[in-house]
Amino acid sequence: MSTSYLICLPTYNEASYIATFLKELSIEISRIKQTHEDLDISILHIDDNSPDKTSEIAASLKLENYWQLNRPEKLGLGPAYLAGFSWGVNKGFEYFIEMDADGSHHPGQLLELIKASESSDLVIGTRWMPGGQVINWPTKRRLISKLGTRYASMALKLPFKDLTSGYRILHSDLVKDLLGAGINSKGYGFQIEMVLLAKEFGAAITQVPITFTERTVGRSKMTGAIVWESLLGITKWAIEIRFKRLYPTGLRR
């Protein structure tokens, strides 16, 4: 009996690289299935109505086990993933893979995360741990990422090395809990809030080292507003934890 994985790929204006990435990802999926016939890996491309025709370019490739979820406007990373999770839950997928489509996450490391998911509810591909690395990032970006994770780890008591990483695998049970929790974060704070919730749910969380390579084409979606939203969110959650008002509607586990 096969185990089903759904790769969720949110995009906005990635026309310059989407075809290259999807071809590389499809080749890697084929390689994995040659040695792991029990794995069923599909792709859900979630596009926020990219004006550069990202979705049209991707659809023209006519890949196997590939679907598109086209949304009417740019609504943010968090809502894009939640929409993809809802779609996949309704289709009965067992695991959900988060991945960037700009070339920063290497398809060749996918199998290592999949192996770790067999005994975990959440696998976090981690840059800032032994075996992990970042390629072509300027010092400023490294500092923002490291200091952001350190602040979040201390404020929220989360013992993980890379809370903003977007290369992850989640079990469907955890995904269903997250969908019912009312996540409001839209930017990279979404990734932090997911880990915080996963810990509150008592989920088994594993860190796996990854190599992150800064994009060589297209434009980064990181902005000052996104960083600010994340910092405000962390501070708010820390205060709510202190006064035991975090997620007052209750957790499902």
pTM of the model: 0.92
Tokens found for residue 107: 């398809």
Q: Which long-range contacts (CB under 8 A, 24 or more apart) does 142-147 make?
A: 144/227
- 250: in domain: no
Q: What is the pLDDT of residue 217?
A: 74
The pLDDT of residue 99 is above 50? yes
Tokens found for residue 13: 């204006």
> Any idea which residue has 């915080």 for tokens?
196
- 60: in domain: yes
- 89: in domain: yes
Helix boundaries (H) for 11-60: 18-35, 54-59
- 248: in domain: no
Q: Which residue has the higher pLDDT, 227 or 150?
A: 150
- 224: in domain: yes
- 247: in domain: no
Percent of the chain at pLDDT above 70? Answer: 91
Q: What is the pLDDT of residue 246?
A: 63
- 55: in domain: yes
The pLDDT of residue 250 is above 70? no
Q: What is the pLDDT of residue 223?
A: 59
Q: How far apart are CA 186 and CA 230, in angstroms?
A: 9
Pairing of strands 3-11, 39-47: parallel
Mind listing the pLDDT tens digit for each residue in 183-199? 888 888 899 999 999 99
Q: How confident is the model at residue 248 (pLDDT cuts 50, 70, 90)?
A: very low
Q: How far apart are CA 10 and CA 84, in angstroms?
A: 8
Q: What is the pLDDT of residue 252?
A: 44
Q: What is the pLDDT of residue 226?
A: 65
- 7: in domain: yes
- Region 102-126: mean pLDDT is 97
- Region 109-131: mean pLDDT is 97
Q: Which residue has the higher pLDDT, 252 or 58?
A: 58
Task: Tell me if 94 sits within 8 A of 16, measured CB to CB.
Answer: no
Domain count, the chain: 1
Q: What is the pLDDT of residue 249?
A: 43
218 three-state secondary structure: coil
- Which residue range(s) make up the domain with 47? 3-242
Tokens found for residue 128: 């800032």
Q: How confident is the model at residue 224 (pLDDT cuts 50, 70, 90)?
A: low
The pLDDT of residue 214 is above 70? yes
What is the Cα Rg of the chain in Å?
17
Mind listing the pLDDT tens digit for each residue in 49-72? 999 999 999 999 999 999 999 999
Query: What is the 3-class SS of 92-118, one letter each residue?
Result: CCCEEEECCCCCCECHHHHHHHHHHHC
Tokens found for residue 57: 């370019």
Q: What is the pLDDT of residue 182?
A: 85
Q: How far apart are CA 251 and CA 10, in angstroms?
A: 27
Give me the count of residues in the chain: 253
Mean pLDDT of the chain: 91
The pLDDT of residue 175 is above 70? yes
The CATH number linked to 124 is: 3.90.550.10
Q: What is the pLDDT of residue 143?
A: 87
Tokens found for residue 7: 């790769």
